[in-house]
Every structure is written in structure tokens, then in C-alpha cells.
Copies of this chain bind each other. A is one copy, B any other.
Amino acid sequence: MEKQEDKLAELLVQNGLKRTLPRLKVLDILSKRDSATSQPFLEKVMGSDADRVTLYRILQTFEEKGIIHKVLDGQGTANYALCTTGCSQHEHHDEHLHFNCRNCQRVYCLDAVRIPRIKTPPGFSVENISLTAVGLCSYCSDNKSE
């Protein structure tokens, strides 16, 4: 059976990207999280494994290639998550509910909740749509008494 690590490296090769340490580490971090990860958090976890500027560039490249996608949380901070299969450089499929916890700031991709089809007024052509909820996630509602 193929190792997870190899799958991630393969993602790079498939997209014509070199297999570098900073890139592999970003993929490793993202693959182990159950929610989208913010730029600041990534920066912290990367530590000295990548310069801040390098991280910006990696995230940008990955997004362009369709390896990750960006979700903005309630404060407008960028959060990143690995794309599911079906995303490519030209087409992102990310049409599910994003849940942003106001306590821990995590952004969950709730694939189970699809965005309902909506009818836009004439003249407005929708190319992309996102549904984002803000509230308390399970962990935070359990561990908080307000």
C-alpha cells in the first residue's frame, strides 16, 4: 500500500512542481487537519522550516494549481484546505458549507451540507458561490461555559 507521504509528493510532481521540503511540510500539515488552516497558524507550525515569504508563495502556487483552496473566515483571514479530487487549475469544486468557529477560529469544510441551488436575479451571472456560517464548533461548545 502506498504511503500517505508519497501521495503528497505525487501531488507536486503531477503539477510540475519540484518536491521541496517546505512544500512537503505544508502538504503534510494540511493533510493532517480536519479543518481549513489559517495562514498565521501555518506560519507558526512551519517554524523555521520555511520563511514567511516562502509560505506566501507556496500557498499561492498551490492555489493556482488547484491543490488547495482558500476560504476566508469571518474576519477575512485566509484559510487553506487540501482540495478533494475533482479540483484542477481551472475548476474548483468547493460548494459546501464552511463553518467558522468564533472561539477557536477553525474553519470546517462540511461536505455533507451542499449549497442549495439558488435563482439569481436576471443580469447577475454566478460563477462561484460560498456559504459560510459563524458559530461555535462542537469542541468549543463542550469546553466553554458562557
The interface of chain A, by Cβ under 8 A from chain B, is 72, 74, 76-78, 97, 99, 102, 108, 110, 112-113, 115-116, 118-138, 141
Is A110's CB under 8 angstroms from B116's CB? Answer: no
Q: CB < 8 Å: which of B112, B123, B132, B138 contacts A137?
A: B123
Shortest beta-carbon distance from A11 to chain B in Å? 25
Q: How far is the CA of A136 from the CA of B123 in the complex (A)?
A: 8
- Give this chain's copy count: 2
Shortest beta-carbon distance from A77 to chain B in Å? 7
Interface centre among A112, A119, A131 (most CB of B within 10 A): A131
Which residues from B are CB-within-8-Å of A112?
121
Is A120's CB under 8 angstroms from B97's CB? Answer: yes
Q: CB < 8 Å: which of B78, B123, B128, B138 contacts A133?
A: B128
Q: How far is the CA of A48 from the CA of B108 in the complex (A)?
A: 43
Please provide the 10 A-B residue pairs with the shortest distance between their CB atoms, ordered closest to farther.
A123-B138, A76-B76, A127-B135, A116-B116, A128-B134, A126-B135, A129-B133, A126-B133, A125-B135, A72-B76
